[in-house]
Amino acid sequence: MKFMLTWFWKPNKQQRSEGIARFLNTGGLPPSPAKLVGRWTRADFSGGFDLIETDDAKCLLEFTFMWEDLMELSYTPVLEDAQTGEVLKRVAKR
């Protein structure tokens, strides 16, 4: 399953600097077996989005604990258009 992680820096420049250093040191990758599909950072550097694929939600919890001291994180399960289309075809027949 895919999850969109939305993250925002906590309003503290020292924490943001620590986050930059941590990211440069670790690559900001989620723990195994989760896979980072893509990452986008807001142009104003206030936060961003990670698309993570995993069938093990424990990885998301672990990833949260890796970063929650520096930023606010929120996960949303997401579907690709083809998957959404399959559901729409089924429900449209009702």
Q: Is 6 helix (H, G, I), strand (E, B) or coil?
A: strand
Domain extent, residue 23, equals 2-92
The pLDDT score that the predictor gives to residue 49 is 98
The pLDDT score that the predictor gives to residue 12 is 87
- The CATH number that applies at residue 29 is 3.30.70
Question: Are 38 and 50 spatial neighbours (Cβ–Cβ below 8 Å)?
Answer: yes
Residues of the chain with pLDDT under 70: none
Question: Are 35 and 27 spatial neighbours (Cβ–Cβ below 8 Å)?
Answer: no
Q: How many domains does the chain have?
A: 1
Is pTM beyond 0.85? Reply is yes
Close Cβ partners of 87 (under 8 Å, ≥ 6 residues apart):
79
